[in-house]
Structure 1
Amino acid sequence: MTIDAREAYRRALDHFGALVHQIRPEHWDNRTPCVDWDVRALVNHVVGESRWASHLLAGRPVADVGDAFDGDLLGDDPVKAFDISAIAAVQAMGEERSLTRVVHLSFGDVSGEEYINELFADALIHTWDLARAIGADERLDPELVEACAIWSADAKETGDRPTATTGEPRSAASAADLQTRLLASWDRHG
């Protein structure tokens, strides 16, 4: 990755959060590029991922957390719920051992750096999903797109696919820009 995983994740969350703050009341039921998710479900997913981060980066296994983050995590103030969860996730990954700690996921153990990269990719791809759903600017930060493309290609080689995937990756024309090619590899079409 061309930039530190923690910095990439923080920046992706910041961009997602900026869009969350642009959501108008009529947007919450809009469909997203994610199968079966509207805007509220997409934001709820990212909030859930952020809330999981502090527990998993502290070394807790998934089984210990259980179903604590199932269901609606947004309550009556979805924007505030997002802000609080993003702050907690950024704080958790800022811990000294966050990159080297073993993180116990449902499919096995990974390094903290790998987990943070997964969170980063998820947040970045979902930033585009949210922008598309609310009619906002869909251009992603080019540095983050490049970092995600590099990490995603490496993850594909090892057989690991992050959570933002909604189907089989598709190819984009080789002349397409990097964002278009990245999105196509995540089954997104601009």
Structure 2
Amino acid sequence: MKQLDAFDKALAEFDRRVHQVKDEQWSAGTPCTDWTVRDLVDHLTSEHLWAPLLLRGATLAEVGDRFDGDVLGTDPVGAWEQAAAESKVAFHRRGALDGSVYTTGGLTPAAEYAWQMTMDLTVHAWDLARGIGADDAMDEDLVAMVYDGAESRIGDWQGLGIFAAPVDVAESASTQDRLVALLGRRP
């Protein structure tokens, strides 16, 4: 699967769940123990507000704190839709994945940044589905690609506070269950 195809599928997976959130579910818990459904959607919305600026070469200092705090306002779904649409356009801009972007980890190849965003969308689509009691099954090709990438990087992430420690699952577990377990969630 090509990088942008995976990004688009992951974006669609998360978007589908955002559109399933009922009014009373915004304060529900998620597998991300410190985050409610609203916090989780706010996190992804903020990340996707950053993306167009970073992909155009902005530094972290130039972006500053403009996306700190609640970026959802009174229309969480609308805020997500706008951020996602602008992010998708930015990632699809000709040459967007050829350069580097500034991230908290330093100057990062844009293709790696796209992969990180794809992974984040994928695992958080599962988190959001669990938080609202929706179907958590995701595109199998996407899950396989994200699992392969995460498995090769997980050692670098341990101790950074990015994910909880991996959870043991049976060898016979599905790729999706192995992915979420690898990223510290109980399938």
TM-score (norm 2): 0.94
Q: 2:174 matched to 1:177?
A: yes
User: How much has 1:160 moved relative to structure 2?
Assistant: 4.7
The answer to whether the Cα contact below 8 Å between 2:45 and 2:83 also exists between their aligned partners in 1 is: yes
The amino acid across from 1:137 in the alignment is: D
Unaligned runs of 5+ residues in structure 1 are none
Give 1:1-190 correspondences, 5 Å limit: 3-156=1-154, 159-160=156-157, 165-190=162-187
Deviations 1:169-190 (A, max 9, x none): 2232211111111110001112
Distance 1:177 1:29 in 2: 30
Distance 1:179 1:98 in 2: 29
Unaligned runs of 5+ residues in structure 2 are none
Deviations 1:115-147 (A, max 9, x none): 000000000000000000100001111011001
The answer to whether the Cα contact below 8 Å between 1:126 and 1:164 also exists between their aligned partners in 2 is: no
The answer to whether the Cα contact below 8 Å between 1:122 and 1:164 also exists between their aligned partners in 2 is: no
The worse-fitting range, judged by mean Cα deviation, of 122-131 and 169-178 is 169-178
Distance 2:89 2:25 in 1: 29
Distance 2:112 2:152 in 1: 11
Across the aligned residues of Structure 1 and Structure 2, the Cα RMSD in angstroms comes to 1.6
CA 1:21–1:120: 2 relative to 1, 3 Å: same
User: How much has 1:13 moved relative to structure 2?
Assistant: 1.1
The answer to whether the Cα contact below 8 Å between 2:164 and 2:185 also exists between their aligned partners in 1 is: no
Distance 1:182 1:169 in 2: 9
The answer to whether the Cα contact below 8 Å between 1:8 and 1:144 also exists between their aligned partners in 2 is: yes
The amino acid across from 1:185 in the alignment is: L
CA 1:160–1:101: 2 relative to 1, 3 Å: farther
TM-score (norm 1): 0.93
Distance 1:165 1:13 in 2: 20
The amino acid across from 2:109 in the alignment is: S
CA 1:164–1:5: 2 relative to 1, 3 Å: farther
SS in structure 1 of the partner of residue 173 of structure 2: coil
Structure 1 runs (4+) greater than 4 angstroms displaced = none
Distance 2:121 2:161 in 1: 8
Provide the aligned length of Structure 1 versus Structure 2.
Answer: 186
